[in-house]
Amino acid sequence: MNDGRAPVANPPTLLEVRGLRTWMQVPGGRVRAVDGASLEVRRGETLALLGESGSGKSVTAASILRLLPEAARIVSGEVLLDGRDLLALPEREMREVRGLRIGMVFQEPMLSLDPVMRVGAQIDEALRRRHREPAARRRLRAIELLRSVGLPQPERRIDDYPFQFSGGMRQRAMLAIALAGEPDLLVADEPTTALDVTTQAQVLDLLMAAVRERGMGMLLITHDLGVVARCAQRVAVMYAGEIVETAPVDRFLEGPRHPYARRLMEALPRPGSRHRPLAVIPGSVPVFTTEPGGCRFASRCDQAIPGCSIEAPPVRVTGPGHEVRCLRDGATAGAEPDSQAPASTDRPTPADAAAGMDTVGLDASPVQPGEVDPSWPGSLPQSPTTRVDDRPLLEVRGLRVRFPVRGGAMRRVRGWIEAVDGVDLGIARGRTLALVGESGCGKTTAGKALLRLVDASGGELRLDGVDLRSLGRAALRPFRARAQIVFQDPYASLDPRMRIEETLDEGMRSLRPAWDARQRSMRIDRLLEEVGLPADARRRFPHQFSGGQRQRVAIARALSVEPELLVCDEPTSALDVSVQAQVLNLLRELQRRRGLACLFITHNLAVVETMADEVAVMYRGRIVEQGSAGRVLAAPAHPYTRALLAAVPRIEVPRDPGTVAAAAVPDLPDPVADREGCDYRPRCPLASARCARERPRAQPVGPGHVAACHERWGDPGPGR
C-alpha cells in the first residue's frame, strides 16, 4: 500500500509547466521573477519546489493559478493541466479551474481566511460550487471535512471565527476549504512555516493523506529540507527564477548535485554542530532585469570556474530522473568540500559588505570566550564578572503569570488561564538556555515576564541579585539596558517609518543618556559592522531589507545598549535555512565575544542542538523536563519531549515510519480546563491512574537532568 510518500508506479502527468516566464515591472526595469521554469506534477505524488525566499517559488504558484499582482505579467510559456493550457483560458473559465480543479493552501491562513465570516460559512462557499444540495446537507459535509483534517469537536468549532482558532487549526480550516472543491491538484505554499513541530507534523500528515486517499497531485512549496524528506516523491530546486536541479527525493537526499542545493543541505543544524559554525551561502538571491550572461549562482558559488560567469549552464542528466543545470560535471558538482579547510563563505569579503549582502562575519577576535569585547567606542567600564561562570545572572523562582477569562454582558471574570505556572529557571553569563515547547505552552509569556513586559502574578525575578518585581517604574529603567529582547517577526517589531539609524539611536538615547551624539553615531557604525550589514544600511528603511537582514537589525537594536541578558523569541522560525544559519552563527559569535546570557525561545529542536547549553521543556505553563542540551536531546525522559523530538522532520533515507507517530497527538487542551493530575495525561500514551490523580514533581534522572513524570519511576497504583 502506498504510504503517501512511496512513488506511484507509472503515474500519469497531471500538471506540466513548460518554459514559464513571469516578469514584474519595477521602477528600474522588469524583474525576471520566473525565467524559463519547467516542471511536472504527476497524479498521486508530491513534487516539492525548494529554494530560498526570492527564488521565484511563490510567483510560479501564482502564475499557475493566474493570481498575479497587477505589476506582474506572464511573458511566455505553457501551463498544462491534463493537457489543457491554462494560460489560454478566458478568465471566466479560469475561475472554474480555481477551487474545483486546483486547490490552494497559502502560507499565512489568518491573511487568507475572512476574519468576519465563520469558518463553516467559508467552507460552505467552496461546497456550493461543487454540490447543488440543501444547506443542511452541505453543513454536514463541512463538519465531515473539518473532522477529516483533524479539527477537534468540528460540530462546535464550525461556527467559530478564524481568530478563535490556533495557528494549526486555522491551517486545517484552510485545507478543508481547499479540499471542499475536490480538486485534482493541490498547491501548498509554505503551509507549515512558523508552526511548531507537532502541529507541522499533523498538517504534513494531513496533506499526505489527502494526496494518498484522493489520488491528487500536490505541488509543495517550501524552503525546509526536512519537510521535503517527509512528504515528497520528487524535488525541484529553484534559484533566481530557474529550476537548477530535479530528482527523485531519495536520490536527492543521498547527494544533491548542484552546488546551491548542496549548500542548502550543509546549512542545516546537525548533531555535533554546537562547536563549529554552520555553513552559510554568502549574499542573497540576485534580482535580474536583463538576461544574465552566465550561471545565476556563480557569484555565490564556492565551486565556480571562469566559464561560469560567461556561459549559461546546460541541463545535464546525471541519473534516472535526475537533472542538474551546471557547467561542471556531476562528479565534481556533487563532490564533498574539503572538511579540513575553512569554508570561505563564513567570512564576508569587502565586496560583499559594499554590496549589502546578507552575510555573517566571524571575527577572529583575540577576546577569549566569555569576555566582553572592550573595543567599542564609548563602552561602559566592563566588570570582571562578565566572564563565564556558574553563578546565575538571571534567577527565576516560582514564576506565575495568569490572565482572566471574561464573559457575559458585564464582562465578569469566568476563569483564569495559568499561562506560566511555577517556573524555575537560571541562566549564567555566557550560557544559553533554550525554552522549548509548542505554540501556546507559555514560552513567549515567560520571556516577556522576565523582562517585565507583562506583569507576573507571583514568584521571584532576580537579575544579578536584584529583585526586579520589587522595582518601581523609575527604578526599573536602568535595568532595561541590561536585558533586551529580539522578537520573532522583525518586520512587525521595527517601526516602518524610521530609518535604521533612528531605530538604533532611539534605544541608546533612552537607556544610555550618558552617551553623546558622536558616541552613539560611532556605535551605530560598529553595530552594523558587527551584525554583517554595510555602513549605508543606516539610511535605509526596514522594507528595504530581506528577512534575514531585518532580523540582524533587530539584533543590533537589542545589542545597542550593551545588555547582559538577551531574550530571543523564535528569531529564526520563518527564515530560510541559509539565512537561519547566518543568524545562528551571528548570535553564537556575539555571545562568545560579549559574554551574553541568552534565553532562546524556540520550538525547533534542531536549532537547540546548535545554540543551547541547557534545555527547559515547557508544557501548559510548567517545566516538564530540564537539563543539559546533550542529555535532554540524547536521552529524553519525559513523553512530551520524546513526542517533540519524534515530530521533527529529519533528512533520512528511507524515512522511519515511527517518526510520524507524534503527529497523532491531539491539540493542546482548553487552557481553562481542569488541571488536576498530570497536564500531559490526555495526550500521553503512557498515562496511568496515578497520572489522573497526582501532579508529578520534578525528580532527577541524571546529573543536572530532571523530569516531572510518573512513568519514569513506575506507578504503584492500579490502572496501568
The 3-state secondary structure of 144-162, one letter per residue: HHHHHCCCCCHHHHCCCCH
Q: Give the span between the Cα atoms of 264 and 341, in whole angstroms.
A: 19
Domain membership of residue 3 as a residue range? 1-101+184-269+278-337
SS3 522: helix
Largest Cα–Cα separation, the chain: 77
Facing residues of 37 across strands? 20
Low-confidence ranges of the chain (pLDDT < 70): 1-10, 194, 271-275, 329-390, 652-674, 712-720
pLDDT of residue 596: 92
pLDDT at 384: 36
Q: Are residues 587 and 683 in the same domain?
A: yes
CA 464 remoteness from chain centre: 33
Give bridge partners of residue 319 from the DSSP assignment: 322
Q: Which three cell numbers stand for residue 109?
A: 491562513
Assigned domain for 91 exists? yes
Q: Can you give the length of the chain in residues? A: 720
Give me the number of domains the chain comprises: 3
Residues β-bridged to residue 71: none
Q: Give me 426's grid cell.
A: 537560571
Nine-digit cell string for 294: 552566465
Q: Is 153 left (phi over 0), alpha (psi -120 to 50) or beta?
A: left
Is 370 contained in some domain? no
DSSP state of 484: E
Identify the CA nearest to 238 among candidates 262, 266, 268, 260: 260
Contact in structure between 282 and 350 (CB atoms under 8 Å) = no
Tell me what pLDDT residue 607 has. Answer: 86
Phi then psi for residue 680, to 5 deg, are -85, -5
Terminal CA-to-CA distance of the chain, rounded, Å? 34
- Domain for residue 365, yes or no? no
User: In 3D, which of 118, 222, 219 has the Cα closest to residue 177?
Assistant: 118
Residue 109's nearest CA partner among 231, 41, 195, 23 is 195
Q: Are residues 73 and 59 in the same domain?
A: yes
> Is the distance from CB of 37 to CB of 243 less than 8 angstroms?
yes
Q: Residue 24 is placed in which grid cell?
A: 514584474
pLDDT at 459: 95
Residue 628 to residue 625: CA distance in whole angstroms: 10
Cβ atoms of 479 and 471 within 8 Å: the answer is: yes
Query: Does one domain contain both 53 and 195?
Result: yes
| Residues 61 and 133 grouped into a single domain | no
As a whole number of angstroms, the distance between CA 556 and CA 561 comes to: 9
> C-alpha angle 259/260/263, rounded to 5°?
85
3-class DSSP state of 473? helix
Q: In whole angstroms, give the CA distance from residue 155 to residue 233.
A: 35
3-class secondary structure, 594: helix
Whether the CA torsion 561, 563, 569, 574 is positive or negative: it is positive
Whether residues 191 and 178 fall in one domain: no
Environment class of 350 (CB within 10 Å of its CB; exposed 0-12, middle 13-18, buried 19+):
exposed
533 part of a folded domain: no
From residue 151, alpha-carbon distances to 112, 181, 543, 665, 667 in Å are 18, 19, 36, 12, 9
The predicted pLDDT at position 338 comes to 39
Q: Give the helix, strand, coil percentages of the chain, each rounded to 5.
A: 35, 25, 40
Peptide bond into 534 cis (omega under 30): no
Cell of 589: 559569535
Residues linked to residue 31 through DSSP beta bridges, in sequence order: 24
311 and 289, same domain (yes or no): yes
Contact indicator for 493, 501 with CB cutoff of 8 Å: no
The three three-digit cell numbers of residue 675, written as one number = 488541571
Pick from 154, 182, 210: which residue ends a domain?
A: 182
Q: Is residue 220 part of a domain?
A: yes
Q: What is the CA radius of gyration of the chain?
A: 26
| Pair 170, 189 in one domain | no
For 393, residues 6+ apart whose C-beta sits below 8 A from its C-beta are 427, 428, 429, 463, 464, 564, 565, 597
Phi and psi of 63, rounded to 5°? -70, -40
Look-up of cell digits 506572464: 74
In a domain, 535, yes or no: no
720 domain-assigned: no
Domain contains 537:
no
pLDDT digits 0-9 by tens, 117-147? 999 999 999 999 888 889 999 999 999 999 8
Report residue 574 CA to chain centroid gap.
3
Three-state DSSP at 281 gives coil
Q: How far apart are CA 5 and CA 44, in angstroms?
A: 9
Claim to verify: residue 303 and residue 155 sit in the same structural domain: no
Residues 462 and 394: beta-carbon distance below 8 Å: yes
Of the candidates 223, 330, 327, which has an alpha carbon nearest to the alpha carbon of residue 267? 223
Q: Which amino acid is at 198?
A: T
CATH number of the domain where residue 693 is located: 3.40.50.300
Angle at 582 between CA 281 and CA 441, to 5 degrees: 135
3-state secondary structure of 232: coil
Helix (H, G, I), strand (E, B) or coil at 548: helix
CB neighbours (10 Å) of residue 419?
Answer: 22
Model-wide pTM > 0.85: no
Domain boundary residue, one of 132, 162, 182: 182
Q: For 651-656, which contacts have Cβ atoms below 8 Å and span 24 or more sequence positions?
A: 651/225, 651/226, 651/229, 651/253, 651/265, 651/268, 652/229, 652/253, 653/229, 653/250, 653/253, 653/254, 654/250, 655/5, 655/229, 655/230
Which helix H or strand E contains 519, and what residues bound it? helix 517-530
What is the distance between the alpha carbons of residues 91 and 126, in angstroms, rounded to a whole number? 18
Q: Are 193 and 154 in a shared domain? A: no
**Pairwise CA distance, residues 238 & 36, whole Å:** 11
Give the domain-ending residue among 314, 337, 360: 337
223 shares a domain with 164: no
State the cell numbers at 474: 523609575
Distance between CA atoms of residues 427 and 429, nearest Å: 7
In 3D, which of 194, 53, 189, 193 has the Cα closest to residue 546? Answer: 53
C-alpha cell at 339: 572538511
- The verdict on 205 and 294 lying in the same domain is yes
Q: Which of 192, 310, 301, 185 is nearest to 240 (CA)?
A: 301
User: Do 589 and 620 belong together in one domain?
Assistant: yes
CA–CA distances in Å: residue 705 to residues 264, 429, 626: 34, 20, 6
